[in-house]
Amino acid sequence: MLKLYRKTESGIFYWETWENGKVHTIHWGKLGERGQSKEITDSLFRAAKKIIQAEIDEKIADGYQQIPDAEHHVLLIEYAVQGMGTAADLEKRHRLQSRMDETLGWTGLGNCDGGSIGSGTMEVCCYVVDFATAEIVIAADLRDSEFSNFSRIYREDA
């Protein structure tokens, strides 16, 4: 997977691509929004990798660049649990991890990297390129869901 970003006066834009077997997906948009996507496959007359490389070259020429992992923020979503938590709490955390991977991935914000449970709290850990935007998108996504009862969303390094 390759993720590229460009900051402008009107916001941060993302462009990313990944391969899943013979299908190559390109996904792009404004950070925090679902954006658009298209799929490219090899055909008799065109090689998908050449098409994608041409788009990568174009995006880099337009000022898109990778944001190093070290510049991502650690965002935690915290829930209160009793003691070390229950099997149901752990199952809920796993569902939330999947949901956050989906939400953050399709909005260009980042990804979920697991979580922890015990000592009265349960957390889901996410790596995001823009904390403020991610916090807004996550809170909106969790509203009116089984996950709406979070204690807080916070930045680990704050």
Start-to-end CA span in the chain (Å): 29
Give CB contacts under 8 A, 24+ apart, made by 120-123.
120/80, 120/81, 120/82, 120/83, 121/78, 121/79, 121/80, 121/81, 121/151, 122/78, 122/79, 122/80, 122/81, 122/85, 122/89, 122/92, 122/93, 123/76, 123/77, 123/78, 123/79
Distance in angstroms (rounded) separating the CA atoms of residues 24 and 49: 8
The letter for the amino acid at 81 is V
Distance in angstroms (rounded) separating the CA atoms of residues 108 and 12: 10
One digit per residue, the tens of pLDDT, for the chain of length 158 reads 999 999 999 999 999 999 998 899 999 999 999 999 999 998 877 788 899 999 999 999 999 999 999 999 999 999 999 999 999 999 999 999 999 999 999 999 999 999 999 999 999 999 999 999 999 999 999 999 999 999 999 999 86
**Can you give the three-state secondary structure of 13-39, one letter per residue?**
EEEEEEEECCEEEEEEEECCCCCEEEE
Walk me through the domains of the chain, giving residue ranges and CATH numbers.
2-61 (2.20.140), 69-155 (3.30.70)
pLDDT in tens, 23-41: 999 999 999 999 999 999 9
pTM given for the model: 0.93
The pLDDT, as a whole number, for residue 5 is 98
User: Quick one: tokens of 15?
Assistant: 């462009």
